[in-house]
Chains A and B, each alone.
Chain A
Amino acid sequence: MTTSNLMKVMLALALATSFAAVAAEKEVSDSDRIAQYRDMISDGNPADFDEMAGEELWKTAAGPSNATLEKCDLGKGPGVVKGVYAILPKYFKDTDKVQDLESRLVTCMVTLQGFSEEELVKKPFSTEQKKSDITLLTTYVVGQSKGVKMNVSTKHPKEKEAYDLGKVIFNYRAGPYDFACSTCHATNSVRIRMQDLPNLNVKSNAQSAYTSWPAYRVSQGLTRSFQWRLNDCFRQQRFPEPKFISETTIDLTMFLAVSANGAQYAGPGLKR
């Protein structure tokens, strides 16, 4: 080793140790600790069981028409499940509407299986007593997009319109507290209890938030869909509860999904 090389190594060592000392002194924040916790529980997601149950439902004949959902077109043609969540919401010709996964599943359950839409949307979310078929199916379908890059289109005028409206709704202040989604989700380090709320105007936050839903909620012991997430945030916002798969919820989903474009879909997630 030449002298100058030796010097370089010694300098590097000296720098490394002083950095280490700085790092050790730096206070570990609660956010870091929570990140550590989330990382430690990321394996072994109970949502896996709902994926299994949802796949069973997908393949089992049901409803007045006694049909399976295997011919359901979720956006990539009849029966294609792989990768569809990464392109939803999307405009569908047959309904002439922009639909998210949950609303599209309802369409298929109505057209293929003969269920009544009115009945389906009455109790769309799981409870401790009964898991929702729509949520189970949703969990199965999203699992088939794990690792697929989000690529939601706004090419169709109706898609563009949904996106624009979603953006407006996100920033629209109203309700008894004059809250908008952006009140809680458009500045850094807004906190409720211990959790930092994601600033959804920051691309990387929007990506990690959107791609980790649907998610198994530890506190509830249930897998929750994105429609549920929005519903719960409307409640946080003291807004009237939005109707399941209403246009407003789909517009918002469109806005958030497009904001997540480019990221790999990582759900179903696991949340506190």
Chain B
Amino acid sequence: MGNPMKIRAGLKDGVTEVKILMQHEMETGLRKDGEGKLIPAWFITEVLAQYKGKTVLDAQFGQSISKNPYLLFRFKGGAVGEKVTVSWVDNKGDKRTDEAAIA
């Protein structure tokens, strides 16, 4: 089970802005550890954000996304108090789902 994300969602002028910070090493597979051994690739491959069961963003990541990935996007509509749900899976099959109420 992955570590919790930090999700902030705010409604302004009829548009919900979502900011997500995920906790993940995002290892490229090219880095070496202290003993000179390659650290295996380990990174988030897919992120899905949903609002009331509808997909509001569907992202695919590669090795070039930074450690602790950050995402910002906006969708029309949304209501204060309703929840945005975000899930990710990584290349090892680890996954995490968190949600945040729109403020």
Please give the residue numbers on chain A whose beta carbons come within 8 Å of chain B beta carbons, in ascending order: 43-46, 48-49, 52, 221
Contact = CB atoms under 8 A, between A and B. Distances in A.
A48 B6 contact: yes
Given A44-B70, A46-B68, A221-B67, A52 B4 contact: yes
B86 to A, nearest CB: 14
A44 B67 contact: no
Given A44-B19, A44-B21, A49 B3 contact: yes
A214 to B, nearest CB: 17
Contacts of B19: 43-44
Interface string B1-18: 001101000000000000
B70 to A, nearest CB: 4
23 contacts: A43-B19, A43-B70, A43-B72, A44-B19, A44-B21, A44-B70, A44-B72, A45-B21, A46-B21, A46-B23, A46-B67, A46-B68, A48-B6, A48-B21, A49-B3, A49-B4, A49-B6, A49-B21, A49-B23, A49-B68, A52-B4, A52-B6, A221-B67
A49 B19 CA distance: 15
Interface residues of B, number: 10
Contacts of A48: 6, 21
Contacts of B21: 44-46, 48-49
Interface string B45-87: 0000000000000000000000110101000000000000000
Nearest to A49: B23
A46 B22 CA distance: 9
A142 B4 CA distance: 21
A46 B70 CA distance: 9
**Top 7 A-B pairs, shortest CB-CB distance:** A44-B70, A46-B68, A44-B21, A49-B23, A48-B6, A221-B67, A48-B21
A43 B3 CA distance: 20
A46 B6 CA distance: 9
B20 to A, nearest CB: 8
Contacts of A49: 3-4, 6, 21, 23, 68
Nearest to B71: A44
A49 B7 CA distance: 12
Given A44-B70, A49-B21, 4 more contacts: A44-B21, A49-B4, A52-B4, A52-B6
A145 B19 CA distance: 23
Contacts of B3: 49
A13 B68 CA distance: 47
In the complex, which of the residues B4, B19, B68, B70 has the most CB atoms of chain A within 10 Å of its own CB atom?
B68
Contacts of B6: 48-49, 52
A46 B67 CA distance: 9
A9 B72 CA distance: 41
A45 B23 CA distance: 11
B45 to A, nearest CB: 20
A269 B39 CA distance: 29
A146 to B, nearest CB: 15
A124 B47 CA distance: 36
Contacts of A44: 19, 21, 70, 72
A10 B6 CA distance: 51
Q: Which of A43, A44, A49, A52 has the largest count of B CB atoms less than 10 A from its CB?
A: A44
B69 to A, nearest CB: 9
Nearest to B69: A44
Nearest to A52: B4
